[in-house]
Amino acid sequence: MKKLTASLILTMFYAVSVLAHQNFTSPDTRDVFKSSNSYSVKGQDKSLNVEFIKADTVENVSSDVFFKDTDEFTATYDKNNTVSQEIHNQAFDLYKQGKWAELESLFKANNLNGGWPPANGGYNIQDNITIKAGEKYDRYSGPTPNWNGQGAPVLGGNFTSPIFDGASYSFGERALNKPENTYDFYYEIEVLQDLPFTGQTAGIIPWFGQAGNGKQTMWKIPVDPKTGYPKTWNQLAEEGFIKITIKNSPSGKYPDLINTVIK
């Protein structure tokens, strides 16, 4: 009887352990939440009524790196292999560890990518995301070179930051390469229709002496066959996909264009 009881107890203990493990790791009991521009994983074991929070051990670095190997990562900043494999390996290691200051120093020392960060400036990359009606984004830029200074400015580019619940990311969180007061326009982009192309979202690598760690969305805008370049924001507005509102002129050059709507 004693042996049977001991065996039964061990069996019950094993069953409870398996159940607990499943509850902690099952996708339907996990929830991703955002707090102060950092991301953590929150889970709850409903059967045991135990709640826990698991944060990344390395700040702002995903355990699921977007790039499968060093070569794929290298292609984002050194397609012509201008530096050694050792430097490439070192850069990938620093990227995976989120050692951004060391990575930027390595890039400067080896004249890599014109001073720009690798991976389009992003980490925790999610590719081919849909951009849907009702979403809002914003960005800083100047006009395209072909704008004659008359009427609404012609605006180009494809990097934006998402606006969540009316809150925008600060200038420093975007890690742009120039001071804020050198940009002629700051504008919001409201999506009016689900877009027929996708985007890529990512956390923003701290760079250029800026704090970074905001969020960016790179729009995969189709090429205009007439120009050979991606369509402008104005063209997307003309096609009925977006509405653009100029919110500010940080450079002070175009105060009369503030609140201009392009659609």
pLDDT greater than 80 at residue 51: no
Cα–Cα distance, 105 to 146 (Å, whole number): 36
pLDDT greater than 70 at residue 153: yes
Mean pLDDT of the chain: 83
Record the tokens describing residue 123, joined without a space.
Answer: 């980490």
pLDDT greater than 70 at residue 168: yes
Q: Is 159 exposed, middle or buried (0-12, 13-18, 19+ CB in 10 A)?
A: buried
pLDDT the model gives residue 107: 99
Record the tokens describing residue 165, joined without a space.
Answer: 């619940």
pLDDT greater than 50 at residue 182: yes
pLDDT greater than 60 at residue 37: no
pLDDT greater than 70 at residue 142: yes
pLDDT the model gives residue 64: 55
Q: What is the reported pTM? A: 0.76
DSSP string, the chain: -HHHHHHHHHHHHHHHHHHHHHHHH-GGGEEEEEETTEEEEEEEETTTTEEEEE--SSTT--SS-S-SSHHHHHTTT-TT--S-HHHHHHHHHHHHHT-HHHHHHHHHHTT-GGG--SGGGEEEEEEEEE--TT-EEEEEE---TT--SSSSPP----EEEE-BTTBPPPTGGG--SS-GGG-SEEEEEEE-S--SSEEEEEEEPP-TT-----EEEEE-PPEETTTTEEPPHHHHHHTTSEEEEEEE-TTSS-GGGTT-EE-
> Is there a contact between 72 and 55 (Cβ–Cβ < 8 Å)?
no
pLDDT in tens, 187-196: 999 999 999 9
DSSP string, 103-141: HHHHHHHTT-GGG--SGGGEEEEEEEEE--TT-EEEEEE
pLDDT the model gives residue 248: 99
> Which of 204, 224, 69, 72 lies closest to 144 in space, CA to CA?
224
pLDDT greater than 50 at residue 54: no
**Angle, in degrees to the nearest 10, between helices 100-109 and 85-97:** 160
pLDDT the model gives residue 84: 98
Longest dimension (CA), the chain: 95
pLDDT greater than 80 at residue 3: no
pLDDT greater than 70 at residue 58: no
pLDDT the model gives residue 45: 32
pLDDT the model gives residue 65: 80
pLDDT greater than 80 at residue 229: yes
pLDDT the model gives residue 198: 98
CB-based contacts of 167, cutoff 8 Å, min separation 6: none
Cα–Cα distance, 226 to 95 (Å, whole number): 38
Cα–Cα distance, 165 to 15 (Å, whole number): 44
Average pLDDT for residues 233-252, to the nearest whole number? 99
pLDDT the model gives residue 11: 42
Alpha-carbon torsion angle 117, 74, 157, 230, nearest 10:
170
